[in-house]
Structure 1
Amino acid sequence: MSDELYDAGMRVRREVLGDAHVDRATANATEFTQKFQDYITRAAWGSIWTRDGLDRKTRSCVTLAVLTALHCHGEIAMHVRAAVGNGLTADEIGEVLLHTGVYAGVPAANEAFAIAQKTLAEMGEPTAQPRTTG
């Protein structure tokens, strides 16, 4: 099934999340989940992420804040990677999570910080590496 909204959504989804992630998500779609994959491609990526009103860096900030506030732990690592790809630094990601902690609660931000640190460390971010004691 292809249309302009779907095609635009798939293009942005691939640009933000990467081909490997999108290929995995679409390859793992079943008859049961296919409608959901189509929906998020059109609604989230085709209708919202393609809009001119916010740049992708800002959209990543908003996304990380909302995912943290809603305790969507399974989505945070993916969107930390996307945020880096959209131009956020590790320090900026930390500021988003710190700011979110004030409004969404310390436990939510604490979990998001743990996920973000692990993800950033895996990506080779120096500030997210464990400290060595000498």
Structure 2
Amino acid sequence: MYDSIHRALHTRRLDGVSIRAIAPFPSAKRPARDSVTRKKAREKFPSGLWGTIMTSSDGGGERPADTLPGYRTAQDVAGEEAVQRFVDALGPVGGHIADLVIEVVFGKLHGRPGMSHTEREIITLAVLAALGGAEEQLTMHLRISHRLGISPAKVIEVFAHTGAYAGFPRALNAVETAKRFYGDLGMLPLEQQQH
């Protein structure tokens, strides 16, 4: 567990494509500059030794996001279009962040036994409401919760419970975000919805 948490992240441009290697901290070696192709980089740094080697686009290459660990789980949970929108939205500037989210959140966390995707999504909604200032992410997770069949009434109940621990102003902001989301879907008033 220690090794998976403490990792060093290195990025190098090889043949017009960014190669990112995740290596154990602190003795991480950087990819050699003499590698010319992704194939050579993969041969030089096999995933068993280095963790994962992924590519990301900086405008000059193709980022095979569908090869990331967790990509299939992300599609199952959030939907294929939502995952593609997320990856495209971050694009060349934040593609590595999309890679990390898909790899860690969906590859590692959602893949763990012990809780369903629905239970994990309810926790995510509560945490985002408690954080405050994450309305865009909250909206995205409201979309995912709707896809997973979590009722609007249950979502509002999650926010009410969160308010007792994180503060009612944050809970009220989350409710306002939910009102906009469910309003766009034509699902208001929420009182008519079942748990």
TM-score, normalization: structure 2? 0.59
Q: Which has the higher strand share?
A: 2
Residues in 2 aligned to 1:119 and 1:100: alpha-carbon distance in whole angstroms: 19
Residues in 1 aligned to 2:89 and 2:137: alpha-carbon distance in whole angstroms: 17
Aligned partner of 1:117 among 155, 169, 179 = 179
| Unaligned stretches of 5+ residues in structure 1 | 130-134
Report the counterpart of residue 127 of structure 2 in structure 1: 66
SS in 2 for 1:52: coil
TM-score, normalization: structure 1? 0.84
Alpha carbons 2:122, 2:155 under 8 Å: kept: yes
Sort the Cα spacing of 1:70 and 1:124 in 2 relative to 1 into closer, same or farther, 3 A.
Answer: same
Residue 31 (structure 1) shift: 3.8
Aligned partner of 2:97 among 29, 36, 39 = 36
Aligned partner of 2:75 among 4, 11, 14 = 14
Residues in 2 aligned to 1:27 and 1:80: alpha-carbon distance in whole angstroms: 20
Report the counterpart of residue 132 of structure 1 in structure 2: none
Residue 88 (structure 1) shift: 0.9
Is the aligned partner of 1:102 residue 2:164?
A: yes
Alpha carbons 1:57, 1:86 under 8 Å: kept: yes
Alpha carbons 1:90, 1:127 under 8 Å: kept: no
RCO comparison, higher one (Cα < 8 Å, 6+): 1
Letter in 1 for 2:159: L
Q: How many residues align?
A: 128
Residue 6 (structure 1) shift: 2.4
Aligned residues: CA RMSD: 2.2
Alpha carbons 1:121, 1:128 under 8 Å: kept: no
Q: Which has the higher helix share?
A: 1
Alpha carbons 2:153, 2:190 under 8 Å: kept: no
